[in-house]
Structure 1
Amino acid sequence: MLSLGRTERDSIPTAAGELPVVGHLPVLYRDAIGLLRSSSSALGPLFWVNFGFAQRRLFYVGSDALELLREPELVMDHPEHLKGIVGRSTVGQDGPSHRRMRSALYPSFSPQGFAKEVSATIAAVFDARIDACLRKESFAVHPTMRDWTLDIMLRICGVPTQDVHAWSRAYRELFLGVYPIPCRLPGLPAYRSDRARAWIDDHLRELLALARAGRAAGSLVEMLSNARDDEGEPLSDQAIVDNVRAILLAGHETSASILAWIIIVLARQRELWSAICEEHTAAPDASVPMSAREAHRFPVANAIFREVLRLYAPAWFIFRTVTDAITLNGRRLPPRTPLALSPTYFGHDPSLFPDPDRFDVSRWKDRSSPPGPLELAPFGGGPHFCLGYNIACIEALQLQFFLVRALRRAGLIPCLEGPSPKQVYLPAGHPTSATRVAFRAR
């Protein structure tokens, strides 16, 4: 996998704390951003990180790292153990094939397109699910948000709601493939991930067959079955299956983490809960936000969303491979160098965000300009900027809208049970799963 010569490779330092076989996996799980920050301080912006089982990546955290996402010398790259998850979806493509596929997908995710229908689905799920939570003594925040966001994504794709639990189990198993354990013996992560992928793909092909027969009207699968790229060509059945599988995974795992952290910060910071309640009191007849463009109507809710993204972004690294030699930090990197970038790292840079470890919504509340590349970094950049950005914004705004409305009517407030959780970073960033929140009387 490594193309650097021995002398060149050894001249670039490795982050401290590397262990035999598992590499930096333990510290990456506990504090990936902390490892990047300490390594940058001690070693400079270019250093090796071992993701375990000889999966070494050259991390670059220089000030121009975000700009590299637009450079043609770097292409999307996933290690072999991840290719079974992303397949030949747009996530794993670059160049002309990526542009054609993305041109077919984008109309379904544009603010003027399918996102309008998605907004109604999100609202229906949150309204019902929050009402059900009022009757619980407490709930595990992150697992609950995973159920809610998967419910949303499956409804969007046209999956019957009674099948949510089976799909949830399958995606938990599929995500085990993120860990680079090479053995595929029964019971081990790679084996279980492959088996889950086969189950998911079989069911997606059934959905696609229903869509082609006109029995899944209005679903994302039906829209993609009719989609055409910028050359007028349809997507192949396998391309639709690969993309829907990847969209379902990314669309609920990343959103679940963001929404879980929104609930946690509202539960642990009473002043934020008061501020968001005051925002709703000032506009008691405000309608449910149905697009990302309505964020200006809810500046406090939007600021909470932006600050959660800055501090707790779930997608904290991006893999790339060098195609043509480039120079970074005075080092020449030849073709096939495995590179890793961390857009999330910039949210923790004190030169960009003073006192970066403090959750502070005032960073965003009085901003009149739209978010720029730095603020949007958690969604990537360049040609691979996240298609689901608008949907993520709507989910964040609507969750807070329905949460405030339901709890105020019931005379309740969110309360964090136990100590404040920390972010863990694998397989993607999320709060510890044991974190619980209760809705209690004021």
Structure 2
Amino acid sequence: MTTHYRPTAQYTSATAPGALPLLGHAPAFVRRPFDFVAGLAAHGDLVKVRLGPLDAYVVCHPDLVRRLLTEDRTYDKGGIIIDKVREAFGNGLATCPAADHRRQRRMLQPAFHRDRLPGYAAMMAEEIAGTTARWRDGDVIDVPAAMYRLTTAVTARCLFAAHERAGSLPVHECMNVVTRGVARRMMMPLPGADRIPTPGNRRFQRAQRGLKEITRRLIADYRAAGTDHQDLLSTLLSTRDEHGRGLSDGEIHDQVVTFLLAGMETTAATLSWTWTLLAANPAARDRLNAELDTVLDGRPARHEDLPALPLTSRIISETLRLYPPAWILSRTVAADTELGGHPLPAGTTVLYSPYLLHRRADLFPCPDRFDPDRWLTTARPAPGTYTPFGLGARRCIGDTFGTTEAALALATIAGRWTVTPTPRQPVRPQRSSSMSPRSFQATLTRRVR
């Protein structure tokens, strides 16, 4: 893929127009968050916004995003987005500050070593085949809900393989409530608002307690059994740092919840968007069908099939470009610094948006067009331009795990079914901490090869 922007030594800074008294840009961010954020690039490379009482800077240029993500001691995990996620999901690998990250990363790396992936992929393939085996020709499904059920089963199996009914654990309901609650807290960052005893806040707190209870029981069961089940929880229990210390039960809980969020919410969102994109682009769907018929001939996809499914992989990459699940993230400035020639004092909140970057026409020609073939060339995008999994030392540890899960699900389902969305209006993203589509239905038609 060719990148058309030219790095420059001169970066522009500006303040976003349209701020209201007291509220700043918060109303625009709440009402139309994606359009608001994507439009900021037109004002400068570093754009100041005001969200209620909070001033923040949105980084719009890929060079500056690269600096933001690779200088992780200067730009630490924190700020309006990460702080809210950390409150909900704990101090796991995705949310912990730099002071904790190196130890956590080293301890968790064995769980995601490439030698472990075939074993996880076998569990994924079995759950995907089993879940979709219950579908019938002509069924009408709620696509995001169905993909969420699918990724819940897959993620729970890879995390808790020893649990006989891992897929039936109530993590789906708890994670759904917590994720929606995080989104509300992100978009309305008013101090103390999350402690008001509203029905929504009470549901949020019950769901948090439910997740803690699920993980507490599972950790206790695994510790009592003392068996390596070749799953993620077994690895978390057995890993040790350079001093021989393991993770506490609280630390394991935070990592489990982090993996649940990444494996369930983000992969379900990616798959849901994929069906809308393929339905709107029948030529790409026909080419995908031809690839799957040649390689799979109607059977479920396996890990060893993936190298022979390049179009399947490109479709996942293009879906992640158009609809990156982690669409906006934040950092906090740890010490006085400058970015693009603009001074940033310690404590400043800095935001960046993969959605904004991926929709820039100077980085991705015809950025709103679904074009899997833009990934045909061997050249990689310049650092800071394509960031669905982050960059640098804090790049998502489970990126290959997630893309493998998505590719296996897409190949198995599309090889057997045509998923035809039947929305009354175009599918829109919902205002959430991940870029998930709003609920829409689709008809399943069994494919005849």
TM-score range (shorter-chain normalised) is 0.7 to 0.9
Q: Which residue of 2 aligns with 1:84?
A: 87
Q: Output the CA distance in 2 between the equivalents of 1:84 and 1:23.
A: 24
Q: Which residue of 1 aligns with 2:57?
A: 58
Shift in Å at residue 259 of structure 1?
A: 0.9
Shift in Å at residue 31 of structure 1?
A: 4.5
Q: Is the Cα–Cα contact under 8 Å of residues 275 and 421 in structure 2 kept in the other structure?
A: no
Quick check: 80-89 or 319-328, which moved more? Answer: 80-89
C-alpha deviations, 1:397-436, integer Å up to 9, x for none?
21122113323xxxxx321213431334422211122x21
Shift in Å at residue 224 of structure 1?
A: 0.6
Does 2:347 correspond to 1:343? Answer: no
Matches for 1:170-319 after TM superposition, within 5 Å: 170-175=174-179, 176-180=181-185, 182-214=193-225, 217-218=228-229, 219-284=231-296, 290-291=302-303, 295-319=306-330
Shift in Å at residue 233 of structure 1?
A: 2.3
Q: Is the Cα–Cα contact under 8 Å of residues 268 and 415 in structure 1 kept in the other structure?
A: no
| Aligned counterpart for 2:429 among listed residues 400, 420, 423 | 423
Shift in Å at residue 381 of structure 1?
A: 1.1
Q: Output the CA distance in 2 between the equivalents of 1:160 and 1:280.
A: 32
Q: Is the Cα–Cα contact under 8 Å of residues 77 and 98 in structure 2 kept in the other structure?
A: no
Quick check: 311-320 or 391-400, which moved more? Answer: 391-400
Q: Is the Cα–Cα contact under 8 Å of residues 108 and 236 in structure 2 kept in the other structure?
A: yes
Q: Output the CA distance in 1 between the equivalents of 2:385 and 2:47.
A: 25
Q: Output the CA distance in 1 between the equivalents of 2:95 and 2:388.
A: 18
Shift in Å at residue 227 of structure 1?
A: 0.8
Q: Which residue of 1 aligns with 2:98?
A: 95
Matches for 1:329-340 after TM superposition, within 5 Å: 329-340=340-351
Q: Is the Cα–Cα contact under 8 Å of residues 84 and 194 in structure 1 kept in the other structure?
A: no
Q: Cα–Cα, structure 1 residues 63 and 421, in superposed 2: closer, same or farther, change >3 Å?
A: same
Q: Cα–Cα, structure 1 residues 372 and 59, in superposed 2: closer, same or farther, change >3 Å?
A: closer
Q: Output the CA distance in 2 between the equivalents of 1:134 and 1:26.
A: 43
**Residue type at the aligned position of 1:208:** I
Count of paired positions: 420
Q: Output the CA distance in 1 between the equivalents of 2:386 and 2:444.
A: 32
Q: Output the CA distance in 2 between the equivalents of 1:136 and 1:20.
A: 53
C-alpha deviations, 1:224-275, integer Å up to 9, x for none?
1111124432112211111111211222111111011112222332212210
Q: Output the CA distance in 1 between the equivalents of 2:21 and 2:354.
A: 26
Q: Cα–Cα, structure 1 residues 150 and 441, in superposed 2: closer, same or farther, change >3 Å?
A: closer
| Partner SS state of residue 196, structure 2 | coil
Shift in Å at residue 379 of structure 1?
A: 0.5
Q: Is the Cα–Cα contact under 8 Å of residues 124 and 158 in structure 2 kept in the other structure?
A: no
Q: Output the CA distance in 2 between the equivalents of 1:149 and 1:29.
A: 29
Q: Output the CA distance in 2 between the equivalents of 1:164 and 1:304.
A: 30
Matches for 1:422-441 after TM superposition, within 5 Å: 422-433=428-439, 435-440=440-445
**Residue type at the aligned position of 1:118:** Y
Q: Is the Cα–Cα contact under 8 Å of residues 31 and 423 in structure 1 kept in the other structure?
A: no
| Partner SS state of residue 361, structure 2 | coil
Q: Which residue of 2 aligns with 1:391?
A: 401
Q: Which residue of 2 aligns with 1:410?
A: none
**Residue type at the aligned position of 1:233:** R
**Residue type at the aligned position of 1:149:** T
**Residue type at the aligned position of 1:153:** T
Does 2:333 correspond to 1:325? Answer: no
Does 2:41 correspond to 1:40? Answer: yes
Please list every run of 5 or more consecutive structure 2 residues that lacks an aligned counterpart in the other structure.
Answer: 1-12
Q: Output the CA distance in 1 between the equivalents of 2:402 and 2:21.
A: 37
Q: TM-score when scaled to structure 1?
A: 0.86
Q: Cα–Cα, structure 1 residues 316 and 81, in superposed 2: closer, same or farther, change >3 Å?
A: closer
Q: TM-score when scaled to structure 2?
A: 0.85
Q: Output the CA distance in 1 between the equivalents of 2:244 and 2:31.
A: 44
Matches for 1:132-171 after TM superposition, within 5 Å: 132-135=134-137, 137-158=139-160, 159-161=163-165, 164=168, 166-171=170-175
Q: Output the CA distance in 2 between the equivalents of 1:36 and 1:372.
A: 22
Does 2:432 correspond to 1:406? Answer: no
Q: Which residue of 1 aligns with 2:7?
A: none
Q: Output the CA distance in 2 between the equivalents of 1:171 and 1:37.
A: 28
Quick check: 139-148 or 164-173, which moved more? Answer: 164-173
Q: Which residue of 2 aligns with 1:73?
A: 74
C-alpha deviations, 1:115-162, integer Å up to 9, x for none?
322211211121122222335631111121111111211122225537
| Aligned counterpart for 2:391 among listed residues 381, 387, 399 | 381
Q: Cα–Cα, structure 1 residues 368 and 289, in superposed 2: closer, same or farther, change >3 Å?
A: farther
Q: Which residue of 2 aligns with 1:363?
A: 374
What is the root-mean-square deviation of aligned Cα atoms in Å? 2.8
| Partner SS state of residue 143, structure 1 | helix
Q: Cα–Cα, structure 1 residues 216 and 318, in superposed 2: closer, same or farther, change >3 Å?
A: farther
Q: Output the CA distance in 2 between the equivalents of 1:344 and 1:230.
A: 38
Q: Is the Cα–Cα contact under 8 Å of residues 268 and 420 in structure 1 kept in the other structure?
A: no
**Residue type at the aligned position of 2:16:** T
C-alpha deviations, 1:65-109, integer Å up to 9, x for none?
123201131100044543322322122323342111111111111
**Residue type at the aligned position of 2:275:** I
Q: Is the Cα–Cα contact under 8 Å of residues 74 and 320 in structure 1 kept in the other structure?
A: yes
Q: Output the CA distance in 2 between the equivalents of 1:323 and 1:75.
A: 6
**Residue type at the aligned position of 1:161:** R
Q: Is the Cα–Cα contact under 8 Å of residues 142 and 432 in structure 1 kept in the other structure?
A: yes
The percentage of counterpart residues that share the same residue type is 24
